Structure 1
Amino acid sequence: MPRALAYLLLGLGLLWPGGRAAGLPPILGPSLLPGTELRLFSPNLRVLYAAWRVEEGRLLPLSPPLRPEEGSPVRLVLVLPNGQVQSYPGRLERGEVWLLVEGLEGSQARYPLGQVLKEVYRLLFRSLWEAR
């Protein structure tokens, strides 16, 4: 990519440093309303690794998080304020939860949960693995 084009796209917010395209999709829905809970489980839902609640633009831990082992499959469960439940498969890689989302024609896309929560939903938090 020519340097001038990269600077233009960076200035417009269409490209992040390092060449990554901006504009992650809202894979968890159009918004995360206050009171929405995010729970990170093992795939069989027997082990709860972490739980958070959305409050006033922040992601608050409900209990001290337990980080799964590197490479572990996980399942993110969203409990919306109206009681509706949504579930997404994922995997822990390099300390980040990567959600696996079905794309067109059966393809699978991967999205970093922390980055999606910060950039798409504008939630404030330090790390998914910090208790405060």
Structure 2
Amino acid sequence: MPAFWLSLILILVPLPGLPELPQGTEIRVVSPNLRTIYRVWEVRGPRLVLRARPLPLPEGHPVRLIIRVGRRVQVYEGVTTADDLWIFVERNQVSFREVLRKIYGLELPEERDEPETHPRDRGRP
């Protein structure tokens, strides 16, 4: 039961080292060996937008969540579920979707959403 309460508390505080996710923050979900990039999102204002066409996430597999804020990079270990990513924070698992929603005020885009292009990428073939 104490683990449940600790997990609940962890959902209510920012991720260690990330008090905020400002405009331009990049979030990637990658394989443990870093060879496969499943998702790339970018924080744009109050939205989290896809930067590249997503690859299917294998359910129940370990992944790494890489969050880049400016020059700082935070890496979290996690595991995928059917519709979420559970990351390990201080030896507990927390829902990445819930942390984004409740702490940072962001929603994960729907899987069927098309990637948006960044203004600096427009006009490129």
Largest Rg, 1 or 2: 1
Distance (whole Å) between structure 2 residues aligned to residue 77 and residue 125 of structure 1: 15
Aligned letter for 1:49? Y
So what's the TM-score if we normalise by structure 2? 0.76
Alpha-carbon deviation of 1:125? Answer: 4.2
Aligned: 1:78 with 2:67: yes
Question: Which aligned pairs between 1:1-132 and structure 2 lie closer than 5 A?
Answer: 24-27=12-15, 29-81=18-70, 83-102=71-90, 108-127=91-110, 129-132=111-114
Aligned pair count reads: 106
Question: What fraction of aligned residue pairs are identical, expressed as a percent?
Answer: 35
So what's the TM-score if we normalise by structure 1? 0.72
Unaligned runs of 5+ in 2: 1-7, 115-125
Over aligned residue pairs, what C-alpha RMSD do you find?
Answer: 2.0
- Structure of greater relative contact order (alpha carbons < 8 Å, 6+ residues apart): 2
Q: Deviations over 1:43-100 (max 9, x none)?
A: 111000000000111001001212321111000001112x111100000023210001
